[in-house]
Structure 1
Amino acid sequence: MKEAQYDYIIVGAGSAGCVLANRLTEDGQYRVLLLETGGSDKSIFIQMPTALSIPMNTDKYAWQFETEPEPYLDNRRMHCPRGKVLGGSSSINGMVYVRGHARDFDEWAAEGAEGWQYSQVLPYFKKAETWAFGGDAYRGDAGPLGVNNGNNMQNPLYQAFVDAGKDAGYFETADYNGAQQEGFGPMHMTVRHGRRWSTANAYLRPAMQRPNLTVVTHAQVHKVLLEGKTATGVRYEKAGQVQDVQAAKEVILSAGSIGSPHLLQLSGIGNPEVLKQAGIDVQHALPGVGANLQDHLEFYFQFRCNQPVSLNRKLDWWSKFKIGVRWILKKDGLGATNHFESCGFIRSKAGVEWPDLQYHFLPAAMRYDGREAFAGDGFQLHIGHNKPKSRGFVHVQSADPKQAPKIQFNYLQHEADREGFRDCVRLTREIINQPAMDAYRGAEIQPGEEVTTDEQIDAFVRQAVESAYHPSCSCKMGTDDLSVVDPQTRVQGIENLRVVDSSIFPTIPNGNLNAPTIMVAERAADLIRGKEPLPPSDAPVIMDEHWQTRQRSGEAKRVL
């Protein structure tokens, strides 16, 4: 092997890769190369929070992946954008900051990811974060990642939604990322000083000043280089030139839940049948690569609004121009928020131990991508069943690294997932019909009041549901036959190769994935360096002690 120019090579400058680039270079001991297929994130459409719908729908900033026809969604092909820019998906996402429920991480440990239970990961959530309202047993106050509540729920619809949840008998929670997730309350976002606080802004930009970090953009990695069962480097292409680069210590894949399994497969690591069908020689049989793929689905429950307070009044070009100018000059106002400023986490039925349904509340009636805005005042709830049992896959299709992999989630394959969305419709109607919403609630736009039976709800969901853009779990961490990495994030059976990103989640958490992905990278950075893990937390978790016998904390005041 040639003398290595770098100690570590990180593939992918996304939510995990930027964290690793920072942490592995902070003491000056290691030489690190960070490779990213995309380019600069210095665009107003990335940095201005309210413009969130633009970068994810722009080829320059995102891989515009599409699934195979999904058999349980009337054979619809689903959009699956992934970040292709510095900051990765943290530069194109909705900036929602949700860690997940404590039990999600205890579930990881039970699945074989020893050391990743809640008590062990909470210190890394805290290490990553500066919470706008100060640190405590659950929140950090000195980390790179800025987190706040946007404009602090100035629009009255936000609080009305929280109050409606209380009216319906649910908990109120002041901090769903703290002691108690279950309930209704303010929502948090990765915004700092009015700007999107991606991992590029939070972690990578400070690290780029260090002489021991090299960042190469517009570099598409073709494969991991192997000598027997040892990773020695990577092959990548930039400006039409293909070159090999060596790593003295390790290669770390942080290309995300689509990119990381695809790169392993391109390197001959994966299910032998999948590799052979793609014409790729098997270097190492690892059947779990690309398997266990999971995602969150959601739909928009839309209502007319009887008061002139919704953001639909701000969707004309003149209003958008004024919002943009104010943001450019002052970095505040409606340009400085993602507009998801209140939320809810509830359990779908008695016997479910921790929340499996999530609400994002938006004081407007429009699509996530900014299209098809509703004429007139309106509001909507993004609602989804967040603990799916359906599983999909990512399969390489050929040895050509520029050919997109075959992606299929098998959304709603499992009956429990279909039941979850029926609960979404019925429980949401009950919440919005509480007294707190009386002054604002107009006619139901979507699904429509006529959609009531199981069959009608199922048909609506199949047509209306969309990805929440949370692909994960395709390189599962654990010790069973489908595990791809061990609890140290090392690829099973291959020396000097790790995967560190959302693909290694054993199961998908109840919430958005940027926060847990950053946590995984923070903890992995210590594992990679052989550092002693942060001391575990003994902070208590608050849950409904009667979860086995009731669906909410008390009786609803109004039942439809």
Structure 2
Amino acid sequence: MQDSDYIIVGAGSAGCVLANRLTESGKHTVTLLEAGGTDMRFYVQLPLGYGKLFYDPAVNWLYKSEPDPGLAGQQDHIPRGKLLGGSSSINAMVWIRGHRADYDEWRAAGNVGWGWDEVLAAYRAIEDNEAGADDWRGQGGPLHISRNRKGLHWLVEDYIAACRQAGLPYNADFNGVEQEGAGTYQMTIKGRRRNSSARAFLHPAMRRKNLRVLTRAQATRVIFEAGRAVGVEFLKDGQRQTLRARGEVILAAGAIGSPQLLQLSGVGPGALLQEMGIGLQHENANVGAHYSDHHGLNYTWRMKVPTYNDMLRPWWGKLLVGMQYFLTGGGPLSKSINHGGGFFRTRPDLPRPNMQLYMQAFSTLLPKAGERPLLTPDPFPGLSLGLSNCRPTSRGWLRLASPDPLAPPSITANAFATPEDIQEMLEAVKFLRQIAAQPAFARWAKEELRPGPLVQSDEDLIADIRARSGTVYHQSCTCRMGPDAATSVTDPRLRVHGVAGLRVIDASAFPNLIAGNTNAPSILLGWKGAEMVLADAR
């Protein structure tokens, strides 16, 4: 197979951006390896269709965590995209950059070029925001962002009013001047279709002759010669093949795939690699360490008025919303279920929000087996208010469970392992009930179903948090960047410490977890990472 200047492993949120930007000038040849297949599937393109992808092995890695004491001993389901677009093709499409202080913390830790001022310029260049350009938003970039103000369920307005009555102000733009407040989320939706990283960045680039995209091609190890990454070994059509890079190998396989591939290639904790019979290329205990994720749960009410349950559960309701979607491009199927949301502080002395809110005008207490039942909700009018932590202090880890590259790694999430994390969750659920007690919301609520009015004491609330919480799918930091090789995997230019010709450019390289959904910062990593690759090639 013909060599390339650059090999990118993983066509996810960052990988699609890398493929686009590295081939834009026409000067460089790029091969993009993706273990999954095409994103040209109905439920991928249908915005609300992501509920059908939650347990679909055709497009989903379907990882599971180890039994977690912080989650009452349960194994958590960890869906990750296995197709063009990666997790941006199966996610809930919420566009949140994070708090400006998150990025200033990245810079303060020695990651030059990653402060708020630098990333703001990149975000504005990336975006084509329906709300228009200003000092914070961009317009004219390759990624269209929906303002998400039309066609929302009418209960969203009352949710926002209840938040205001509880002391949380209205916020028209969580990516603007302030993150704190309640409002509606911007979405990566364009027209009636999901606007994944594949749609916005990869498909336009695939028309270029200098980009080769190989699907169903699973990387099994990075090939090193004299301490330099020179290629990738991969499986395609049952055959083991190799591909060499004249320039660099770039891992963009995500917070699970990238550290797994590094360990399979001999870069990682020495004792683990010796145990697995893998030759040591470079010892670094940080590979797979510092695993960070947001965890949260829903509180659910039976409502006195119709919610999306009444529309999406009966066959005739499915027919009506389907006709509405196909005829007009609107209706519930054209959106994520998270119509409303917000950010708040559990204590007034905190300098910035530490909790994220989600308002969903539907409920799924009676799930259908094997499916996240967005299209099969409860047989009664229900509504859920959810929350998740923004900056957990608990850290987990990821390790090879087998030297077999096709075997999933062992993932220890270690959720709610610190007193700080469980205390802020306790404070958060109490505030969630305060919102629900406000007149704007309480007038429509018939009864609290989960956890229910009998769960009142701190002890019982904490037990409920542990029993019902789970990941909100923001895994990161397992190949974290930093200037010190003793505490990180990549340097601030995303080059892997201790070897040459190899970078990691995806959410695994976050120095720490940002406040909010991680699709936007993953795309940011691809955008700025490509600039660094090109600058260093001169």
CA distance in 2, matches of 1:466, 1:340: 17
1:369 equivalenced with 2:372 (yes/no): yes
Query: SS at 1:16's partner residue?
Result: helix
Q: 1:507: which partner in 2?
A: 512
Amino acid at match of 1:472: S
1:384 equivalenced with 2:391 (yes/no): no
1:302 equivalenced with 2:300 (yes/no): yes
Amino acid at match of 2:254: G
Alpha-carbon offset, residue 36 of structure 1: 0.2
Q: List aligned pairs for 1:150-229, cutoff 5 A.
A: 150=148, 152=150, 154-229=152-227
Q: List aligned pairs for 1:50-129, cutoff 5 A.
A: 50-129=48-127
Amino acid at match of 1:370: P
Pair 1:218–1:443, CA change in 2 (3 A): same
1:429 equivalenced with 2:433 (yes/no): yes
Amino acid at match of 1:479: P
Amino acid at match of 1:352: L
Q: Normalised by the size of structure 2, how large is the TM-score?
A: 0.96
- Structure 2: unaligned runs, 5 residues or longer: 366-370
| CA deviation string 1:168-210 (max 9, x = no partner) | 1122211011111001112111100110000110000000000
Amino acid at match of 2:341: C
CA distance in 2, matches of 1:347, 1:151: 25
Query: SS at 1:62's partner residue?
Result: coil
- Return the match for 1:521 from 521, 526, 530: 526
Alpha-carbon offset, residue 309 of structure 1: 4.2
Contact 1:394/1:407 (8 A) holds in 2:
yes
Aligned residues: 530
Amino acid at match of 2:211: L
Query: SS at 2:5's partner residue?
Result: strand
Q: Normalised by the size of structure 1, how large is the TM-score?
A: 0.92
CA distance in 2, matches of 1:362, 1:58: 23
CA distance in 2, matches of 1:182, 1:232: 46
1:487 equivalenced with 2:492 (yes/no): yes
Contact 2:310/2:317 (8 A) holds in 1:
no
Amino acid at match of 2:143: L
Q: 1:546: which partner in 2?
A: none
CA distance in 1, matches of 2:475, 2:317: 34
Q: List aligned pairs for 1:238-277, cutoff 5 A.
A: 238-277=236-275
Alpha-carbon offset, residue 79 of structure 1: 0.5
Amino acid at match of 2:431: L
- Return the match for 2:397 from 393, 397, 404: 393
1:473 equivalenced with 2:477 (yes/no): yes
CA distance in 2, matches of 1:298, 1:488: 32
| CA deviation string 1:418-465 (max 9, x = no partner) | 012101210001111112213312211111112121210111111111
Contact 2:293/2:474 (8 A) holds in 1:
yes
Alpha-carbon offset, residue 326 of structure 1: 3.3
Q: 2:368: which partner in 1?
A: none
Contact 1:99/1:516 (8 A) holds in 2:
yes
- Report the more deviating stretch, 475-484 or 404-413: 475-484
Contact 1:226/1:233 (8 A) holds in 2:
yes
CA distance in 1, matches of 2:536, 2:435: 48
CA distance in 1, matches of 2:27, 2:523: 22
| CA deviation string 1:449-493 (max 9, x = no partner) | 121212101111111111101111100111232200000000011
Q: 1:551: which partner in 2?
A: none
Amino acid at match of 1:451: V
CA distance in 1, matches of 2:71, 2:338: 27
Alpha-carbon offset, residue 221 of structure 1: 0.4
Query: SS at 1:261's partner residue?
Result: helix
- Structure 1: unaligned runs, 5 residues or longer: 533-560
- Report the more deviating stretch, 8-17 or 446-455: 446-455
Contact 2:129/2:147 (8 A) holds in 1:
no
- Report the more deviating stretch, 69-78 or 521-530: 69-78
Contact 2:147/2:187 (8 A) holds in 1:
yes
Alpha-carbon offset, residue 375 of structure 1: 2.6
Pair 1:362–1:58, CA change in 2 (3 A): same
Alpha-carbon offset, residue 303 of structure 1: 1.0
| CA deviation string 1:531-558 (max 9, x = no partner) | 89xxxxxxxxxxxxxxxxxxxxxxxxxx
1:418 equivalenced with 2:422 (yes/no): yes
Query: SS at 2:175's partner residue?
Result: coil
Amino acid at match of 1:459: A
CA distance in 1, matches of 2:450, 2:147: 27
CA distance in 2, matches of 1:352, 1:10: 40
Contact 1:313/1:377 (8 A) holds in 2:
no
CA distance in 1, matches of 2:327, 2:8: 36
Amino acid at match of 2:443: A
Query: SS at 1:382's partner residue?
Result: strand
CA distance in 2, matches of 1:339, 1:472: 24
Amino acid at match of 2:195: W
Contact 1:48/1:327 (8 A) holds in 2:
no
**Which 4+ runs in 1 deviate beyond 4 A?**
none
Contact 2:148/2:184 (8 A) holds in 1:
no
Amino acid at match of 1:467: T
Query: SS at 1:457's partner residue?
Result: helix
CA distance in 2, matches of 1:4, 1:209: 19
Q: CA RMSD in A?
A: 1.6
Q: 2:449: which partner in 1?
A: 445
Query: SS at 1:394's partner residue?
Result: strand
Q: List aligned pairs for 1:346-365, cutoff 5 A.
A: 346-365=344-363
Query: SS at 2:48's partner residue?
Result: helix
CA distance in 2, matches of 1:112, 1:324: 51
Amino acid at match of 2:169: F
CA distance in 2, matches of 1:478, 1:487: 6
| CA deviation string 1:51-101 (max 9, x = no partner) | 111123200001011111112222111111111000000001111111111
